[in-house]
Amino acid sequence: MMKKITIFGKGNMGSAIGKRFEDANNTVSYIDSKTIADNLGDIVVLAIPYNAVTSVLETYKNELNNIIIIDITNPVDFNTMDNLLVPLDSSAAEKIAKIAVNSKVVKAFNTNFAATLENKTVTSKETTVVMLASDSIDAKNEVTEALEGSGLDVIDAGTLKRARELEALGFLQITLAVREQINWTGGFAVLK
């Protein structure tokens, strides 16, 4: 069924994710840092830097009740490139879930470089696979359905706790690209 998707941020990730949801026949709208929206869609995507997340959660506290929040952030300390900004026994997604207690938080897209969402492939070879982690099976099902026809494959990586591994994987992938060991059009592929 067609969903209304609201994407915070229309940068590299926001625009690529938006196109894929549109390909799958959803309605997509964007919110930038200068706009305050008065309503949100069925699914909200936080395509913004990790350090901008808390203020968005605060601003939209009421509107976010009962809806799905997709957290795509990689909370990397870009000053040192040497650690994540969350403790090892937590994750950005779990922190978001602790603040947005009435939302269904799904970790997704953080292991997919923007170019692989634009191109729908990792390099030009493998279909881009989106891994989902959430404590809400319903939310994972809804996101999976909303991406049917997007050209992306979607798989279930388990509970929200798995966001720790997804964020570690995202960090490693960024490290490899920054060190010019892989291209930003490449990265980890998942073969079924």
Ligand X SMILES: NC(=O)c1ccc[n+]([C@@H]2O[C@H](COP(=O)([O-])OP(=O)(O)OC[C@H]3O[C@@H](n4cnc5c(N)ncnc54)[C@H](OP(=O)(O)O)[C@@H]3O)[C@@H](O)[C@H]2O)c1
Residues near ligand X (CB under 6 A) are 8-14, 31-33, 47-50, 52, 55-56, 72-74, 110, 113-114, 170
Q: Closest residue (Cβ) to ligand X?
A: 11
Nearest distance from C-beta of residue 55 to ligand X, angstroms: 6
Nearest distance from C-beta of residue 139 to ligand X, angstroms: 19
- Separation of alpha carbons 115 and 138, rounded Å: 29
Tell me which H or E stretch contains 28: strand 27-31
* Pick 1 or 44: Cβ nearer ligand X: 44
> CA 116 → CA 82, 123, 170, distances in Å?
24, 7, 13
- How many other β-carbons are positioned within 10 Å of the β-carbon of residue 2? 10
Contact indicator for 156, 60 with CB cutoff of 8 Å: no
* Pick 73 or 103: Cβ nearer ligand X: 73
> CA 130 → CA 39, 79, 146, distances in Å?
27, 27, 13
Nearest distance from C-beta of residue 46 to ligand X, angstroms: 7
Nearest distance from C-beta of residue 13 to ligand X, angstroms: 3
* Pick 42 or 118: Cβ nearer ligand X: 118
* Pick 59 or 141: Cβ nearer ligand X: 59
Contact indicator for 187, 117 with CB cutoff of 8 Å: no
